[in-house]
Amino acid sequence: MNLHGIWAIYRFEMARFGRTIWTSLMVPVITTSLYFIVFGSAIGSQMREVSGVPYGAFIVPGLMLLAIFSESILNASLGIYMPKFTGTIYELLSAPLSPLETVLGYVGAATTKSVVIGLVIFATAHLFVDLPIAHPFAMIAYLVLVAATFCMFGFAIGIWAKGFEQLQVIPLLVVTPLTFLGGAFYSVTILPEPWRSITLFNPVVYLINGFRWTFFGTSDVGVGISLAVTAGFFAACLTWIGWIFRTGWRLKS
Amino acid sequence: MANDPILSIRGVSKTYANGPTALEAVDLDIQRGEIFALLGPNGAGKTTLISIVCGIVVPSTGSITVDGHDALNDYKQARRRVGLVPQELSTDAFESVLATVTFSRRLFGRSGHSAYIEELLRDLSLWDKRHAKIMTLSGGMKRRVLIAKALAHEPDLLFLDEPSAGVDVALRRDMWKLVHRLRDRGVTIILTTHYIEEAEEMADRVGVIAKGKLLLVDDKAALMKKLGKRELDLTLVEPMTAIPAELEEWAPTLENEGHTLRYVFDATGERTGIPSFLRRMQELGIAFKDLETSKSSLEDIFVGLVEEKR
Ligand SMILES: Nc1ncnc2c1ncn2[C@@H]1O[C@H](COP(=O)(O)OP(=O)(O)O)[C@@H](O)[C@H]1O
Ligand SMILES: [Mg+2]
């Protein structure tokens, strides 16, 4: 195991995040506060409880995942896209690193940043609402799992992308809409049919509900299914990345 | 083991997915501690060959071993031993010089803390700039950074791809000094160039490559001797049938049915032997009406080889 190599990539990526640390941390604080001012006060006053949870608290898991999805994809994709773009990837490709080691470095660093941002949102939300957590260990584990999954997804997107525009296409045009439609700010049980059944085809529903269960102990769908969907997506990303390294697709000519 | 080649390339070919055949069945052995120049015009396949050895490009066929380790199956062992200074100036922008060189050392599996890095940066006149961001450096300094990165993990085999492209005199001088110091330490160096003078100046052995084919590999000294030969052609007034014994010392030959007396001399030698040869001719009363020298420099041979293969 080339531990020095993994550490080198991890440090390099963390240094890259460090250069924009204040923006990176202020954005989630401000956005979360805005959500609470708009949704929590304006809408929340009309809609006091969802599934027995105060509305302000109810939206916190969705808010955290919304940020984690886009941050994970963006940070991890940029991490591998930039060396491709500037040409410095020659060094990575010529280094004695296995695919697993390379992914551990890049995805590990991006996951760290995503988890930190998730926790910043959590802390900010804490200033506005009471947030009891039913299953704290499961909550942290789920947070890390989802962040790592989307960072792997982002890593693969960074290798796939042929331009900066393509880096943004998936998070902005696919993931964020699916998150809004996937019950980040409402319970899918309030939807009328057929929208309710259609919504259940959206995988993000399961991710959000699984995470919500770790907070409140209740969920629109079974926790087992949530975990299975998350694990399935994790496995799919892992397979994709494994295939990329085996074939050298868009990495080596 | 010491006599095993440090790099062994067997039957390596490369055809790019949407492009030309960049390499055709290249076989090459590089000996430990030598400086080898891969000489060829642009597009010959030099960068492709280097990239395949380093694991950046996947070969279509063939196999490579570095220090006995297969570059595909045992890539970790193989790659640890190799350092590459690429042709393009590809660097990070925001990293400091020290950080990027330390990064390279770690990436290749070594601990980042080392007196070696300081020594390396001093050797390359980068120590004073160690905290500078790479993007603030000039092109020449960036090239030095790339050399430091390639040497950071103390490789046994160093590739320099077009080392003098866009390089100023000071860096060139420093670079050659460094190359010789590295060689003294036992590092094997392979450089690519399309300048004959560079191959001549630097290398122990030269391989000529054109159109993806390795045309010839020879010791530089032997090659230069071959290539440094000049011919003096004397067109005689009276044709000759045999070389007079008095001229044997110069071993001339008769060409053109005895009308031309040819003397081959070494233009790089201290003495060409021409004045004494002509004096002896005069003493013997052999008259000539024309005199011509032709050279067969590395340049001509090189151009000839490259054209021949078109
Ligand atoms: N990534 C690539 N895709 C397609 N063709 C390439 C690629 N890289 C190099 N080539 C082609 O392969 C040939 C050899 O190129 P290269 O190895 O860069 O030559 P050199 O380094 O000797 O100038 C050229 O015809 C070049 O156009
Ligand atoms: Mg080249």
HSE (side-chain half, CA atoms, 13 Å) at B92: 23
Could you give the domains of chain B? Answer: 7-224 (3.40.50.300), 228-308 (3.30.70)
Q: What is the pLDDT of residues A54-101, one digit of tens each?
A: 888 999 999 999 999 999 999 999 999 999 999 999 999 999 999 999
The percentage of chain A sitting over the pLDDT mark of 70, rounded to a whole number, equals 98
The chain B residue lying nearest A99, using CA atoms, is B76
Residues, beta carbon < 5 Å, ion ligand 2: B 46-47, 87
- Res. B6: pLDDT tops 70: yes
3-state secondary structure of B75: helix
CB contact A99 to B (< 8 Å): no
Going by pLDDT thresholds of 50, 70 and 90, the confidence category of residue B305 is low
Residue A17 domain-assigned (yes or no): yes
CB contact A90 to B (< 8 Å): yes
The residues facing B232 across adjacent strands are B263, B293
Residue A143 domain-assigned (yes or no): yes
- Res. A157: pLDDT tops 70: yes
Average pLDDT for B291-304: 68
In the structure encoding, which two tokens stand for residue B112, read together?
């980042």
Going by pLDDT thresholds of 50, 70 and 90, the confidence category of residue B302 is low
Residues present in chain A in total: 253
pTM of the model: 0.87
Residue A182 domain-assigned (yes or no): yes
Q: How many domains does chain A have?
A: 1
Residue A253 domain-assigned (yes or no): no
Label residue A53 left, alpha or beta by phi (over 0 means left) and psi (-120 to 50 means alpha). beta
Please say whether the beta carbons of B177 and B27 come within 8 A.
no
Going by pLDDT thresholds of 50, 70 and 90, the confidence category of residue B230 is confident
In the structure encoding, which two tokens stand for residue A161, read together?
């992308």
Of A205, A119, A138, A92, nearest to B92 by C-alpha is A92
Task: Determine the pLDDT at residue B194.
Answer: 87
- Choosing from B13, B39, B48, B190 the residue with most ligand 1 atoms within 8 A of its CB, the one to mutate for a pocket test is B48
Task: Determine the pLDDT at residue A116.
Answer: 97
DSSP sequence for A112-169: HHHHHHHHHHHHHHHHHS----S-HHHHHHHHHHHHHHHHHHHHHHHHH-SSHHHHHH
Residue-range definition of the domain harbouring residue A132: 3-247
Residue A130 domain-assigned (yes or no): yes
Distance (Å, whole) CA B15 – CA B60 = 6
Ligand having the closest approach to the CA of B48: 1
Phi, psi of B7 (to 5 degrees): -135, 130
**Which amino acid residue places its CA nearest to atom 27 of ligand 1?**
B43
In the structure encoding, which two tokens stand for residue A109, read together?
């660093």
Residue A193 domain-assigned (yes or no): yes
Of A11, A91, A93, the CB nearest to B149: A91
CB contact A252 to B (< 8 Å): yes
Asked which of A186-190, B148-152, B235-239 is least confident by mean pLDDT, the reply is A186-190
Average pLDDT for A167-175: 92
Of B84, B99, B110, the CB nearest to A4: B110
* Residues in Cβ contact with B91 at an 8 Å cutoff, skipping those fewer than 6 apart: A86, A88, B100, B134, B135, B142, B145, B146
Which has more pLDDT, B294 or A33?
A33
Check if the interface score ipTM surpasses 0.90: yes
Q: How far is the CA of A92 from the centre of ligand 1 (A)?
A: 20
What is the C-alpha R_g of chain B? Answer: 25
Going by pLDDT thresholds of 50, 70 and 90, the confidence category of residue B297 is low
- Res. B74: pLDDT tops 90: yes
Please say whether the beta carbons of A46 and A38 come within 8 A.
no
The chain A residue lying nearest B76, using CA atoms, is A96
Whether A92 sits inside 8 A of B107 (CB atoms) is yes
Q: What is the pLDDT of residues B266-281, one digit of tens each?
A: 777 778 888 899 999 9
- Res. A43: pLDDT tops 80: no
Report CA-CA distances (Å) from A79 to A236, A244, B119, B135: 20, 16, 31, 19
Residue A252 domain-assigned (yes or no): no
The percentage of chain B sitting over the pLDDT mark of 70, rounded to a whole number, equals 92
Residue A142 domain-assigned (yes or no): yes
- Res. B142: pLDDT tops 90: yes
Task: Determine the pLDDT at residue B303.
Answer: 65
Which atom of ligand 1 is least distant from the CA of B161? 21
Task: Determine the pLDDT at residue A126.
Answer: 92
